[in-house]
Amino acid sequence: MTILVTGATGRVGRHVVDQLLQRGATVRVLTRDPAKASFPAGVEVAKGDLLDIEALRSAFKDVSTLFLLNAVTGDEFAQAIITLNVAREAGVDRVVYL
């Protein structure tokens, strides 16, 4: 199954992606602007943001684990709640919230 990483373009997110790849995981990242995102070969890039429910639903296809990297302040808290609800709807088994 696939692991979805949000916040993958940030400092911590890039390290998470690298570590998952080193362990042989199938990794998908969600980013607002795929053209600006540079990831290693083998990383699937999904376009969208945490307020776009349809983009989230698409990104969660065949995902078993979510690495949700965002803060819990202001709008980012609402984004986390939306993302967690869509993850539950999609049947995600595990969530790592950083």
Q: What tens digit of pLDDT does each residue of 58-82 get?
A: 999 999 999 999 877 778 889 999 9
Q: Mapping DSSP to helix (H, G, I), strand (E, B) and coil, where does residue 86 land? A: helix
Q: What is the pLDDT of residue 33?
A: 93
Q: Name the residue range of residue 87's domain.
A: 2-97
Read off the CATH number of the domain in which 93 is found: 3.40.50.720
Q: What tens digit of pLDDT does each residue of 16-59 get?
A: 999 999 999 999 999 999 988 899 999 999 999 999 999 999 99
Structure tokens at 95: 């969530």
Number of domains in the chain: 1
Specify the pTM. 0.94
CA 7 vs CA 71, 92: distances in Å: 10, 18
CA 84 vs CA 12, 17, 19, 22: distances in Å: 20, 19, 23, 26
